[in-house]
Amino acid sequence: MDAKPLLPYTDDRDTRAFFEAAREHRLVYRACKDCGRGLHPPTAHCPWCGGWNTDWHPAKGGGKLHAWTTVTHPIHPAYKVPYTLVLVELDESPDVRLVGRIDGAPALEAGMKMRVWFEAVADGVVLPQWQVV
């Protein structure tokens, strides 16, 4: 029996728009329309300027690699080792960094250009993933 992966709760009032967009293969991020700063994890209130004028914005899907770790010790049966967790900074905002997963143990360097793709992990559940450009 193949183990089932952990699925995101996609109905949170602050974060569900991210997953709704991913389902349509769109990457969005929350940002403040007053000060322009990104907000991740997403919040309705902007901690940078103190305003409430925040909304979801489309991202083009490019980023750069900030850090990574190759997991070699298995923790969860659905996640076969080795796999590499990547921390990617969104081109549109240095305030927004997203975590993705690459199978295996690729050779990586800080600052590498990354590109989003969309992985269907269950019926109606899609995760933005990242690959080296």
Partner 1 sequence: MTTGGDSAWAARDKCAVVGIGSTAFSRDSGRSVLTLASEAALGALQDAGLSVHDIDGIVGCDHDRVTPWTLAASLGATGLDWWAQTGPGGGAPCMMIALAVGALMSGQCKAVLAFRSLNGRSEARLGSGVPGMGGQTVGGFGSYDEFYLPQGLITAGQTFALMAQRHMIEYGTTAEQLGAVALACRAAANQTPHAQMYERTLSMEEYLGSRMISTPLRLFDFCLESDGACAVVLTRADRARDLPRHPVLVRAVAGGAPPDLRGGMMFPAVTRHDITDIGGRTAAERLWQRAGVGPRDMDLAQIYDCFTISVILQLEAFGFCKRGEGGPFAASGALLRDGELPINTAGGHLSEGYVHGMNGIVEAVRQLRGDGDMQIPGAELCLCTGGPLPVGSSVVFRRA
User: In the complex with partner 1, which residue's Cβ is closer, 6 or 24?
Assistant: 6
CB 21 within 8 A of CB 47: no
Site membership for partner 1, residue 58 (CB under 8 A): no
Tell me which of 17, 49, 99, 132 binds partner 1, using CB under 8 A: 99
Residue 34 CB-half CA count within 13 A: 11
Site membership for partner 1, residue 49 (CB under 8 A): no
- Per DSSP, 86 falls in state E
Tell me which of 50, 58, 94, 124 binds partner 1, using CB under 8 A: 94
Site membership for partner 1, residue 71 (CB under 8 A): yes
Tell me which of 1, 2, 11, 123 binds partner 1, using CB under 8 A: 11
Q: State residue 21 phi and psi, 5-degree precision.
A: -65, -45
- The length of the chain is 133
CA distance 15 to 47: 16
CA distance 32 to 50: 10
Q: x/- site string to partner 1, residues 106 to 125, per CB under 8 A? A: ----x----------x----
Site membership for partner 1, residue 73 (CB under 8 A): yes
**Tokens in use for 29?**
């991020």
Q: Any bridge partners for residue 54, and if so which? A: 32
The contact set with partner 1 (CB under 8 A) reads 4-12, 14-15, 18-19, 40-41, 43, 47, 66-73, 75-76, 79, 83, 85, 87, 94-101, 105, 110, 121, 127
